Every structure is written in structure tokens, then in C-alpha cells.
Structure 1
């Protein structure tokens, strides 16, 4: 197991143990790693994605750790399936404490080379509308528990990124949506936590859509030089437990927020260099 007892401090145990948590995009990458990390806290997990085989594989691992999850196949791009996911959670556990909007997709093409513009709609549907659909279905139950919404966005939601224009647009939308929602639900004591990872090793890069709207098949990332999904999940745990507002997982991301104001052209150069180097 990639997780250590260092994560099992008293504060995390007291704030996470026994929580009912829905995780989308749980079949791979950050979602899978986060589910395994949360299993240490005896959470009641609802794991969801489109790939039943991979979900069942994760469910087997979680069962070995002592707490079998509820497996629910759903496509977050379909509103009725989002509602069905939340209903399945309530039918099973009678409550919901934390909704983790993690499912996502990306692209890898310059906009002026994009041949299939439906790519933009697909990405917006999954990355922005999907979390909106899920959150809408979940809010009545989160108000009852004074629960929490976690949105896994991206550094691309804070700045421009070449070859990722549609992805960056969807993550900008996601951040704007959840920042606004945070204000709306504050009086209901529902917390909203935004997670903005830098590059993370994940299947999402292999499935990134090219200029023709087809999956790349191979990752353009230098995976040995970027954060693993397990490392990202371990960073997320205390932020979720403390119901914090925002996590930016890299130093360049944190410093970039300020340089974007005082030296925006420098941030453009950093973004271009990051894409060119794949790290």
C-alpha cells in the first residue's frame, strides 16, 4: 500500500471516520487513489465511473481493507444518471456527508488545428455540467448533514494552457461555479473545497482527445517526473478533513496565482514550457 500511518493522525481520524462519501471518476487515477486512502478511515464509500470492470477491481481492493463500497456505474454527462447516483447513495446509507466531483476528461490539440468542435461540448459536459448535475441532486442531503462538496479542478482552471483550451475553459467554469456556490450555501453550513492539481499520472492523459476527437492512446506526459495519483490523494486528505477552501498542489501553481497579476506574460511562458516538456 502506498499510504502510511502518518496520515492516521487524530485530527484526520476524528473528521473522516465513518463519513458517507461519493467519489466520481473512481476507476482510475486520483479517484481510485483517494478511495483507497479514505478506506483507512472506515468511510462508507460510493464509487462511481463508467467502467464497471475497473470499479469492481477497486471494490475488491477496498473490501480487503475492511469496508466494501457501493459500486454504481454512471456517466456524469447524463443528468438522470447523476440523480440516480445520489439516489443510490441515499437508498443505501440514508445520508451523504461528502460529494467528491472528480470525473473528468481532457483534450490535447491547438484550437486552430481542432477539426471536430464537438470536443469542446463533450469536455464542458463532463467537466462542468456533470459536477453541476451531481451537486444539484446532492445539495438537499448535504444541507441535512452540513456536509461538503469537493471539486477536483486543475491549475488549468486558473490560467491559460496551450493545447488545452477547451479543458482550461471547462475548469475555469468549474472554479467559477463552485466559488459562487460556496457563497450561496454558506448559511447552510455546507463547505465547498476546490482542488487544483498540477500534472498527475493518470489515464486521463492517454484518453485526451486529439484534433479529430479521438483518444491519444499514449500519454504525452513525462510520468516519471510528475506527481503520482497517490501523492495527490495524500495531499487532498487533510484539506478535505479540515474543510478548507482551496488546495493548489505545486509551488509553481501557488506562486503563479500572484505572478499572473503582476507578470502575466511570464505565466504564459511557464505554461508553454510545461506543455512542451510534458511536466
Structure 2
């Protein structure tokens, strides 16, 4: 009985949220904007680069693998409607010293910076955290790449973002809203992103700074890395959840950023509703999540 009540409640609230939270399409405002996309060699980041390029933005893209970046850059050149120049920056976000040079190089190449898109990640194997030396080593890497480097990049980009009344787009995960067993370090980093950037947005508002921060809470996206992780793990079973297209996901992210929205939940039904239910009924939600894993 309670399950049906909760389902009806969630459906009603979701419909209200979806119908009342529509924005005009401002994709045309992206033409000529100077955009830095991190983690742009594959997956969502690659598709973000293509979306911004086809809309006429001027791009700098960064990742560790230069050869793959070159291919993405070349494709961006092909689909750009205004023969816009695009640039690559090879960098490893696990090395926090790289973050300053990335911003400096991007600003120099682009002639400024209007939009900072933070997308890169260090993945974590879906395994128990048992306090081993290996767990702790991975913890340091995941926190550095998935949280600290985001803050560093934002800090170094701040003068440009403030001067240009720009935007910060943060690619986050449902794991930053709802905890999940056997991926605790990754979830911790994603929760940290949520806390930091939600607070920073409030600071900008209090200081009357016209800066937008769009927090993108994503569900199961059909990237090569995500599918491989889930299919090879012995601890999770997502057979009942169909992943969504990275192309559609990237377009939703670009639209949300262009509209200067505070939040994007994508896909909506499997992210916002789950977040809502976890906030309203944490004990019940935790029980359902635990039942989804196998030990």
C-alpha cells in the first residue's frame, strides 16, 4: 500500500516540477561564446564538445590523451557553422598543478572565457571499501580528480567568469544526491561537488554577481566506461534500468547551461524522483537500494 502511495506522490510532484520548470530556448546565445570543456575525449564530454561546436561556440577541450583530443577537435572544426577555431589542451587532472595551466592556456587561446564546463572524472571500481591501502590510494586519486581539481579550475577561472558574467556547468551524478553501496569514494566526491557549488551559487547571489552555476545530476548514461563498469561488477544489478544516449544527455546539458538554470536532472524520472524519495523517506530508499546489490 505504502509503495503505491509513494509512487502516486512522486508522480504528482514530478509532473508539477516538470510543467512549472520550463525555460525558453537560448541556444542561439552560445554563438561566439568561449567555452572550456574538460574530459572531452570520450563519452559525455566528447558529445558536449560537438554540441557547443555546432552551435557556433569557440572551444578549448582538455583530456589526457592528445591523439583522441585531436580527432574530437577535428570533428568540431567540421561541424562548426562559422569556421570557428577550436583548441586542445592535454592535461591530467590528477595533477592539480595542471589546473592552473589549463585555465591560463584556454584563456589565452580563446581570448577569454565565458563558460566553464567541468566534466572529467576518475572512475572507481564497484567494490567494498574495507580500509585497505589500495582503498586509500584510490580515495586520494578520486577526490583529487573528481572534486579538488574542479575547485581549483573554478578558482583560477574566477576572474574571467566574474568579468564576463559567465557560467559554470558542473557535470555531477545521482550518486552526488543519493548514496550507493560499493562506490563510496566516488559518491563522496560527487556529494562534495553538490555541497560546494550549491554554496558557491548562493554566495554569488548574496554578492549580487550575475554568475550562473548549473548542477547537472545525471543517471545511467550509455557511455562506454559506465556500461563496462556496471557489466563487469559482481555487486550491482542494473538490468532493469535502460541507459540513455550520451548525445541526448549532452544536448540537455548544453540547453540547461544556456538557459542559466540552477539544476538539471537527466533523465528526469530516474534522477529527480529518486532524489525526492530518498529525501522524504531515507530509510525506505536505502532498503530498496541495498536490495539492488548482490553480495
Q: TM-score, normalised by structure 2?
A: 0.81
Counterpart-to-counterpart distance in 2, 1:137 and 1:106: 24
SS in 2 for 1:153: strand
Match of 1:197 in 2: 218
Partner deviation per Cα, 1:22-75 (whole Å, 9 max, x = no partner): 000000111001111111111001000011111011011111113341100111
Q: Does structure 2 conserve the Cα–Cα contact (< 8 Å) formed by 1:205 and 1:221? A: no
Instruction: Quote the Cα distance in structure 2 between the aligned partners of 1:257 and 1:205.
Output: 20
Secondary structure of 1:172's match?
Answer: helix
Q: 1:18, 1:43 within 8 Å by CA — same for their partners in 2?
A: yes
Distance 1:134 1:32 in 2: 19
Alignment of 1:201-240 (within 5 A): 201-205=222-226, 225-240=242-257
Among 48, 60, 63, the residue aligned to 2:77: 63
Partner of 1:256: 274
In 2, Cα distance between the equivalents of 1:184 and 1:63?
37
CA contact (8 A) 1:201 1:223 kept: no
Tell me, yes or no, if structure 1 residue 121 matches structure 2 residue 140: yes
Aligned CA-pair RMSD: 2.5
Q: 2:199 aligns with which of 160, 180, 200?
A: 180
Extract structure 1 runs of 4+ deviating beyond 4 A: 219-224, 273-276
**SS in structure 2 at match of 1:178:** helix
Question: How far apart are 1:85 and its partner, in Å?
Answer: 1.0
Q: 2:161 aligns with which of 142, 155, 174?
A: 142
Moved more, 227-236 or 16-25: 227-236
Name the SS for the 1:185 alignment partner: helix
1:212 maps to which residue? none
State the Cα deviation string for residues 130-153 of structure 1 (Å, max 9, x = none): 100100000000001000111111
Q: 1:25 maps to which residue? A: 39
In our comparison, the structure showing a higher alpha carbon Rg is 2
Q: 1:246 aligns with which of 263, 276, 284?
A: 263
> 8 Å contact 2:168–2:213 — kept in the other structure?
yes
Structure 2 unpaired stretches of 5+: 1-23
Per the alignment, do residues 13 and 173 of structure 1 end up closer, same or farther by CA in structure 2, a change over 3 Å counting? closer
Report the alpha carbon displacement of residue 221 of structure 1 after superposing the two structures with TM: 6.7
5+ unaligned residues in a row in structure 1: which ranges? 1-9, 209-214
Q: Partner residue of 1:109?
A: 127
What displacement does 1:253 show?
1.6
Could you tell me how far 1:18 is from its partner in structure 2? 1.1
Question: Hey, what does 1:87 align to over in structure 2?
Answer: 104
SS at match of 1:247: strand
- Aligned partner of 2:18 in structure 1 is none
Quick one: distance in 1 between partners of 2:156 and 2:188? 24
TM-score (norm 1): 0.85
